[in-house]
Amino acid sequence: MWRSPEPRFDVASAICQGGRDYQEDAIVTDFPFGADTGVVVLADGMGGHAAGDVASKIVVTEVFSELKFQSANFSDFEGEIPHYLTAAAVNANDVVRQHVSQNPDTRGMGATLVSVVLVENRMFWMSIGDSPLYHFRNGKLQQLNEDHSMAPQIDFMVQSGLLDPVAGKNHPDRNCLTSVILGDRVAKSDCPKTPFKLEVGDIVVVSSDGLQYLEDAQIQRILQKYRRKKAAEIAGYLLEAIEALADPDQDNCTFSVIKLNHNKPVIRAVRPKPVGHVDAHTNTTTRVVEIDDVAAATAARAEQADDRREVKPVVKEVKPVKHVTVAENDDSNQEVDETAPPAKIAAGGN
């Protein structure tokens, strides 16, 4: 059995309050050690100290709890991940609506959302609002998700010669959102059905728009210069660059840096499903193929002896039958992945 000397994903997060009197960003990351999947959920609140921070916490809590509940299905039902992401966002919007109805003084609060699910080298996402999802490869930085603000329209006016570049950069409506989670109808959302495929060495940055106080070219230079460093170090350099700006109007800045260390498959024992598969044409039930107990025991002994040779499982041939008694799932031969929390950097947050 092949075992990696390092986890598939290297992840670190950073958060700073900037020049604001309060923190309205919220983030959760979950990348269990040894797992092939991971989740990031980030929300940037709006509505002031009495509501924006509440909105972001509601959105992150509701979306993450739903994705965590579904995480066991990510690998087996990968095609359903966009549905899981969408359903989680809808549920979060409903909870915000309920909170506002019960607390009328919080009316107008809302939050952006970026939720990311990774399965091996494949990345799915759902985003609402202007919080960017960056991808870096071979020295090039690009934003993968849609920007639901007035910024794209203003930039188009600048490119068309209808607006001066300086005026466009400082336009008062630049950060006006065209879609956000408010507990009302969500105008726009970005949730591709086809995953984005990552390559080894790629860097993903899930961020609130506070990171955009840095120019894209500066973010690109930092990622290029420190691309071989650990995610925690890259996060630290990005945070240093934000702090070096010393901008009194600096917005809350929160982000997570994700690196794909390797994309090698891990051989695992196949667990029998709790029910059989019924063929509609023959009306017969076929049991899911199980790995022979002897092969599983042999694999366990080989792993304990640090034997790097490949252990080939012996598979029973199972024939269709009219009736099958499904035995209870025996997890005695399953491998247990030890979990460890991802490294995080926190600075200036409340």
- Residues 136-160: pLDDT tens digits? 999 999 999 999 988 888 888 888 8
Q: Within a domain: residue 269?
A: no
pTM over 0.85: no
Give the pLDDT of residue 268: 52
Residue 295 clears pLDDT 90, i.e. is over it: no
Are 56 and 121 found together in one domain?
Answer: yes
DSSP per-residue codes, 44-112: EEES-TTTHHHHHHHHHHHHHHHHHHHGGGTTTTGGGHHHHHHHHHHHHHHHHHHHHHH-GGGTT-EE-
Are 284 and 245 found together in one domain?
Answer: no
Average the pLDDT over each of 136-140, 256-260, 323-327 and give the range with the smallest value.
Answer: 323-327
Reported as a single tens digit per residue, the pLDDT across 64-116 is 999 999 999 999 999 999 999 999 999 999 999 999 999 999 999 999 999 99
Are 215 and 85 found together in one domain?
Answer: yes
Q: Within a domain: residue 266?
A: no
Compute the average pLDDT of residues 305-328. 44
Reported as a single tens digit per residue, the pLDDT across 12-65 is 999 999 999 889 999 999 999 888 999 999 999 998 656 899 999 999 999 999
Are 143 and 288 found together in one domain?
Answer: no
Are 244 and 295 found together in one domain?
Answer: no
Which residues fall within 8 angstroms of residue 147, CB to CB, at 6 or more apart? 130, 132
Are 205 and 128 found together in one domain?
Answer: yes
Are 284 and 227 found together in one domain?
Answer: no
Distances (CA, A) of 292 to 124, 135, 199, 272, 286: 35, 43, 35, 11, 17
Residue 191 clears pLDDT 70, i.e. is over it: yes
> Which of 260, 283, 316 is a domain's end point?
260
E-assigned strand segments in 138-268: 140-143, 196-197, 203-207, 253-260
Which residues fall within 8 angstroms of residue 199, CB to CB, at 6 or more apart? 121, 137, 260, 263
On average, the pLDDT of the chain sits at: 81
Number of helices and strands in the chain (H, E): 7, 13
- Count of domains for the chain: 2
Q: Give the pair of three-digit tokens for residue 6.
A: 């390092």
Give the pLDDT of residue 169: 81
Reported as a single tens digit per residue, the pLDDT across 194-242 is 999 999 999 999 999 999 999 999 999 999 999 999 999 999 999 999 9
Whether 343 and 12 have beta carbons less than 8 Å apart is answered as yes
Residue 283 clears pLDDT 60, i.e. is over it: no
Measured CA to CA, the distance from residue 226 to residue 245 in angstroms comes to 19
Task: Give the residue with greater pLDDT, 325 vs 45.
Answer: 45
Give the pLDDT of residue 3: 54
Compute the average pLDDT of residues 279-304. 42
Measured CA to CA, the distance from residue 178 to residue 138 in angstroms comes to 32
> Which of 260, 285, 313 is a domain's end point?
260
Q: Within a domain: residue 245?
A: yes
- When mean pLDDT is compared over 7-21, 163-177, 273-287, the highest value belongs to 7-21
Give the pLDDT of residue 301: 46
Q: Within a domain: residue 189?
A: yes
> Which of 233, 260, 287 is a domain's end point?
260
Give the pLDDT of residue 315: 44
Residue 281 clears pLDDT 70, i.e. is over it: no
Q: Within a domain: residue 334?
A: no
Measured CA to CA, the distance from residue 127 to residue 334 in angstroms comes to 36
Distances (CA, A) of 269 to 31, 72, 190, 294, 335: 21, 15, 36, 12, 8
Task: Give the residue with greater pLDDT, 303 vs 22.
Answer: 22
Give the pLDDT of residue 90: 97
Name the nearest CA neighbour of 189 among 110, 263, 90.
90
Are 72 and 143 found together in one domain?
Answer: yes
What percentage of the chain carries pLDDT values higher than 70?
Answer: 73
Q: Within a domain: residue 157?
A: no
Are 132 and 192 found together in one domain?
Answer: yes
Task: Give the residue with greater pLDDT, 269 vs 96.
Answer: 96
Find the helix or strand (DSSP H, E) in which 114 lies. strand 113-119
Are 37 and 141 found together in one domain?
Answer: yes
Are 142 and 281 found together in one domain?
Answer: no
Domain containing 291 equals: 275-325
Q: Within a domain: residue 342?
A: no
CATH number at residue 234: 3.60.40.10
Are 255 and 220 found together in one domain?
Answer: yes
